């Protein structure tokens, strides 16, 4: 998995975005299967994957699929934190933002920052 090192501030922004989307009635797809479907259908606007997924094979296809579909993909440190910020009581290996609700500016800022990192 080609992981670009994500600056701490950007990781925080991503987690805050998930919280905002969740609170403002946006749509998230949570878990590998849901995220994979959202990416394949072109619905995902941003995919966030936890780095501590074990075995890695569970999520290895996501960055490749995102690249094929032109969907920004990023990483955070833990499944636990990803699940919490996505508003569920359990860990989440991956989350896709499908509808950002009122958080459009934040989403655009994160996507642009990710593009800069991958240059």
Residue 113 belongs to what domain range? 8-117
The whole model's pTM is what? 0.94
Looking at residue 4, the DSSP 8-state letter turns out to be: P
CATH number, domain with residue 58: 3.30.1330.30
Residue 1 inside a domain? The answer is no
Q: Quote the Cα angle for 54-73-40, to 5°.
A: 90
Round to whole Å and give the CA distance between 49 and 77: 9
Counting the structural domains of the chain, the total is 1
Residue 2 inside a domain? The answer is no
| pLDDT digit string, tens, across residues 41-74 | 999 999 999 999 999 999 999 999 999 999 999 9
Residue 3 inside a domain? The answer is no
| pLDDT digit string, tens, across residues 6-35 | 889 999 999 999 999 988 889 999 999 999
pLDDT band (50, 70, 90) for residue 1: very low
Round to whole Å and give the CA distance between 64 and 70: 10
């Amino acid at each position: 998995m080609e992981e670009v090192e994500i600056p701490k501030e950007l990781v925080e922004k991503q987690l805050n975005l998930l919280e905002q989307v969740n609170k403002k009635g946006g749509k998230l797809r949570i878990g590998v299967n849901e995220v994979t479907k959202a990416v394949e259908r072109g619905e995902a606007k941003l995919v966030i994957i936890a780095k501590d997924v074990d075995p890695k094979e569970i999520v290895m296809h996501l960055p490749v699929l995102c690249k094929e579909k032109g969907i920004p993909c990023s990483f955070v440190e833990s499944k636990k934190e990803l699940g919490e910020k996505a508003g569920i009581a359990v860990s989440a290996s991956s989350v896709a933002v499908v509808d950002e609700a009122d958080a459009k500016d934040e989403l655009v800022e994160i996507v642009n920052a990710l593009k800069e990192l991958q240059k």
